[in-house]
Amino acid sequence: MDKKNTMLIGAIIFIAVACFVYISLQTTELDTKQAVETASTTLWENAPAEKTSDLLLTSKTVVTAKHAYQNGKHIIAGEVPLPTPCHILDASATASADKKQVLVTLVSSIKTGEVCAQMITPARFKVTVAARKDATMLATLNGQEITLNLIEASAGEDLDNFELYIKG
């Protein structure tokens, strides 16, 4: 073999290796972009624990709760995910003067001076308010408006011990 053929074979091998490396890098970059695009959109699931309470309020939060109307009173019981087990949830409900609107107010706070694990913890609430049967339900969490997804409780269901996650 002469020197010219050796150089040609070497150049072809070099180009083949360079193409292989380039294609490998492009595939890795595409996989990374797809992983970022398909990440979960549940805000509190992807957030660092310290920032969870802030992130819960950045978009319209949905709180699912059971609802019953008995003896002229609305009973609403549900759960809110809080950033740590040390957080406390206070819940209250008030009706407008004409009893056509009900405002459910949820406020979370943290016990001071305690060391606490950073993990999402569901906090249950239950409120009762006298209002019209067809009253409009509004809700806030830490002063921010939220969507209250109400599921009607079956007759005789105990709202002190309820199950929100319905199969089907």
| 72-126 pLDDT, tens digit each | 999 999 989 888 888 899 999 999 999 999 999 999 988 777 788 888 888 899 9
Say if residue 43's pLDDT is above 60. Answer: no
Find tokens 């011990």 and name the residue.
161
The predicted structure's pLDDT at residue 17: 85
Q: Determine contact, residues 63/78, Cβ cutoff 8 Å.
A: yes
SS (HEC) of 105-126: EEEEEECCCCCCCCCCEEEEEE
The predicted structure's pLDDT at residue 26: 77
Say if residue 32's pLDDT is above 80. Answer: no
Per-residue pLDDT band for 29 (boundaries 50, 70, 90) equals low
3-class secondary-structure state, position 80 = strand
Say if residue 165's pLDDT is above 70. Answer: no
Q: Determine contact, residues 56/84, Cβ cutoff 8 Å.
A: no
Give the global pTM. Answer: 0.59
Q: Determine contact, residues 145/58, Cβ cutoff 8 Å.
A: no
Domain boundary assignment for the chain: 1-39, 49-152
